[in-house]
Amino acid sequence: MNTASLLVELFVEELPPKALRQLGDAFADVLFAQLKAQGLAGAAAQSTAYATPRRLAVHVSDVRAQAEDQAVSHKLMPASVGLTADGQATPALLKKLAALGADASAVAGLERVHDGKAEVLHLRATLTGVMLAEGLQKALDEAIARLPIPKLMRYQLEDGWSSVHFVRPAHGLVALHGSEVVPVSALGLAAGRTTHGHRFEAAKDPITLTNADSYARQLHHEGAVIASFAERRAEIARQLAAAAQAVGGGAQAIEDAALLDEVTALVERPNVLTCQFDAEYLAVPQECLILTMKANQKYFPLLDGAGKLTNRFLVVSNIRPDDASAVIEGNERVVRPRLADAKFFFDQDRKKTLASRVPELAKVVYHNQLGTQGERVARVRAIAKAVGSQLFAHLTHANALLQTPEGEIAEDWLLTCIDNAALLAKTDLVTDMVGEFPELQGIMGAYYAVNDGLPDEVAHAIEDHYKPRFAGDSLPRETVGVVVALADKLETLVGMFGTGNPPTGDRDPFALRRHALGVIRMLVEKHLPLSLPELLAHAQPAFESKITDISEPLSSFIYERLSGSLRDQGYGAQEVDAVLSLRPALLAQVAPRLDAVRAFAALPEAQALAAANKRVTNILKKADGVEPRVKPELLVEAAEKDLYGALQTIAPQAGAQFEQGDYTASLKTLAGLRAPVDAFFEHVMVNAEEAELRANRLGLLQQLHDAMNRVADLSRLAA
């Protein structure tokens, strides 16, 4: 079978840079999958995606000119329906055969296959392999239709009458199988073998492609274009590192994968140049300067060896002139007013204290059902005060997250810092800098707090109360920040659930899943001795009559997020279910409980005890209101006496270990109940006819159930 490489390219106007990588991969993946599905791409075929600002392309090796013929079997109908008593074809069968391109002559060759109910007629046929032109047309149409286009454009074709919809106007289509053009069309374009290189630096225009395999090489040498997104990205990274090294002093370009992807999507022939700005602007917080250079100009700021911003930055140009001074000067001239604006905003903002901005929050709408940011701040303060008081009651010198300079925890000082931080946490929302750069909320508040002479703990809390902002983000540094962050997230969760705005499906406009995971991470990773039910109870009164009671649905939502997080960390679904089914109030205890359950599950007694526990649970469900009181004088059978005696010895020991937090030891101690439990179920009739005897035995099982299910519901481990 004749095989050769296939090259398909769509030449278009500049594509949206943030979507380019995804568009290129999707175009290549769908087209390749369609070719394989039609039998046109061989088993050894490989696809290579190409994407530049002005093209989407894919190269596929080992593509056939025609797919191989395939033997197929068409299921027709039951023989009793398709054939008469004397074996002649019925009209229904002839109609079905005609639909498949066969006639009455095929009846003699039909196969009879018994499907377990009746004999069914099958037609064996050979399906002619699809020709490349036909198969590629289908694959190309599918690849274009399934592109994840952010926003479609509608534009007219050259005839002035027809119009098409696509991400950007398309001006060229290449389809080469080896050196032969494949006659396909798309977006009003007929396939050819010519394309275009760099707008300004191509050695030839147009470029006539020799064959499919020469595509990347010809674009590079004749068109001054690096067609591969991955190769272009790697080249930019290499040039950035070399330029930073040339600056010296341990300088490094800031690492930002999203920015690198976006810049890769903006250039076809990258050329990294080093520029600088006036050192006076370094007096502005570096986060402001870095953000304006990255977001507005797509520059790579340079940091020194200590991670501090320098007055140098790197530009990825799309041209390589012999004298780059004009390009450098142009970029330096463009960035200057951006930095000047940042300096102006910073200087103006510092003329007012954060405290003086608090009344302005009453003019900022937070939510139509929950009022303004000013009202929200009042709720956060109330929640933070309650959480801070609860936390202080548990803090000791040994485990304190924050201490005064004198080394002692001062409750008044702690609560004052918490209240100040909660009061001022949102005030930077009404500053000029955050108005221009919303991404700097919290960060600028910390700088302005320091400028106002507030304690570092308050400044840190203002910045940290948004944390964790994303998966893997750091947590607040100190107790003040932890408390305010908890209060802020609890206010959002309780408020949105209380007004009927929980997440639905894929929609989560208020990022409630992220807030819930933030609460979980702080409680777990900071080992906070705070009860989740109590936290939710502290939050609701702050809303007064604005919301309804949502303790149960919100609690379930948080435990569901915790369950998913634990499974992502490698815990088994049974282990997680066993622990979380008890709804442990202290989330910091969940991981130790899971480790204990995993250790228990490895014991030889585990499965027998889990099965027995499941049996006990089912028995007790059918006997509502069982009291765990046992009268020793009513213990008749030796097995129930032995179980009662074992419980008197083992349960207190396991209980003491549980109270000390040694969950693994507690479960291992309970494993000693296997023999008496097995004997009990083998020799004792629980549902005895005598009511008093039955109640006593149910009470014994209730004691057993209570003792065994403090760490986790062991019945969930039963196979």
Can you spell out the DSSP letters for 83-133? B-TTSPBPHHHHHHHHHTT--GGGGGG-EEEE-SSSEEEEEEEEEPPPBHH
Q: What pLDDT digit, counting tens, does each position of 231-252 carry? A: 999 999 999 999 999 999 899 9
Q: What is the pLDDT of residue 402?
A: 45
Q: Rounded CA gap, 550 and 507, in Å?
A: 20
Mean pLDDT along residues 95-115: 78
- What are the structure tokens assigned to 481, written together? 């920040």
pLDDT-based confidence at 719, cuts 50/70/90?
low
58-72, 91-105, 210-224, 342-356: the lowest-pLDDT one = 91-105
pLDDT-based confidence at 618, cuts 50/70/90?
confident
Q: What is the pLDDT of residue 395?
A: 64
Q: How many other C-beta atoms lie within 10 A of the C-beta of residue 306?
A: 7
Q: HSE of 464 in the Cβ direction (CA atoms, 13 Å)?
A: 22
Q: What is the pLDDT of residue 123?
A: 75
Q: What pLDDT digit, counting tens, does each position of 179-234 carry? A: 999 999 999 999 999 999 999 999 999 999 999 999 999 999 999 999 999 999 99
Q: List C-alpha distances in Å: 479 to 392, 483, 664.
A: 10, 6, 30
CA-atom Rg of the chain in angstroms: 36
The answer to whether residue 408 scores a pLDDT higher than 90 is no
Any idea what the Cα angle at residue 271 is, between residues 268 and 273, rounded to 5°? 145
Q: What pLDDT digit, counting tens, does each position of 331-387 carry? A: 999 999 999 999 999 999 999 999 999 999 999 999 999 999 999 999 999 999 999
Q: How many other C-beta atoms lie within 10 A of the C-beta of residue 649?
A: 12
Any idea what the Cα angle at residue 375 is, between residues 372 and 380, rounded to 5°? 125
Who has greater pLDDT, 105 or 186? 186
The answer to whether residue 625 scores a pLDDT higher than 80 is no
- As a whole number, the mean pLDDT across the chain is 90
Q: What is the pLDDT of residue 416?
A: 93
Q: How many other C-beta atoms lie within 10 A of the C-beta of residue 299?
A: 25
Q: What pLDDT digit, counting tens, does each position of 158-180 carry? A: 777 888 889 899 999 999 999 99
pLDDT-based confidence at 407, cuts 50/70/90?
low
Q: What pLDDT digit, counting tens, does each position of 653-702 carry? A: 999 999 999 999 999 999 999 999 999 888 888 888 888 888 888 888 88
- What are the structure tokens assigned to 567, written together? 């499974």
Q: Rounded CA gap, 710 and 712, in Å?
A: 6
Please report, rounded to a whole number, the percentage of residues in the chain having pLDDT higher than 90.
68
pLDDT-based confidence at 116, cuts 50/70/90?
confident
- What are the structure tokens assigned to 628, written together? 């765990």
Mean pLDDT along residues 567-578: 93
Who has greater pLDDT, 231 or 507? 231
pLDDT-based confidence at 584, cuts 50/70/90?
very high
Q: What is the pLDDT of residue 398?
A: 36
- At which residue do the structure tokens 């109330």 appear? 382
Q: What is the pLDDT of residue 647?
A: 92
If you write DSSP's letter for every residue of 155-182 in order, what string do you get? EE-TTSS-EEEESS-EEEEEEEETTEEP
- Residue closest to 267 by CA, chosen among 573, 558, 53, 410: 53
Q: What is the pLDDT of residue 338?
A: 93
The answer to whether residue 401 scores a pLDDT higher than 70 is no
What are phi and psi for residue 592, nearest 5 degrees? -60, -35
What are phi and psi for residue 457, nearest 5 degrees? -60, -40
35-49, 107-121, 678-692: the lowest-pLDDT one = 107-121
Q: What pLDDT digit, counting tens, does each position of 425-463 carry? A: 999 999 999 999 999 999 999 999 999 999 999 999 999
pLDDT-based confidence at 110, cuts 50/70/90?
confident
Q: Rounded CA gap, 648 and 703, in Å?
A: 10
Amino acid at 243: A
Q: How many other C-beta atoms lie within 10 A of the C-beta of residue 608?
A: 16
Contact 526, 482 (CB under 8 A): yes
pLDDT-based confidence at 256, cuts 50/70/90?
very high
- What are the structure tokens assigned to 342, written together? 């940042």
Contact 8, 57 (CB under 8 A): yes
Kind plus residue range of the DSSP H or E element containing 410? none
- Residue closest to 610 by CA, chosen among 645, 642, 577, 651: 577
Span between the terminal Cα atoms of the chain, in Å: 54
pLDDT-based confidence at 399, cuts 50/70/90?
very low
Q: Is 274 exposed, middle or buried (0-12, 13-18, 19+ CB in 10 A)?
A: middle
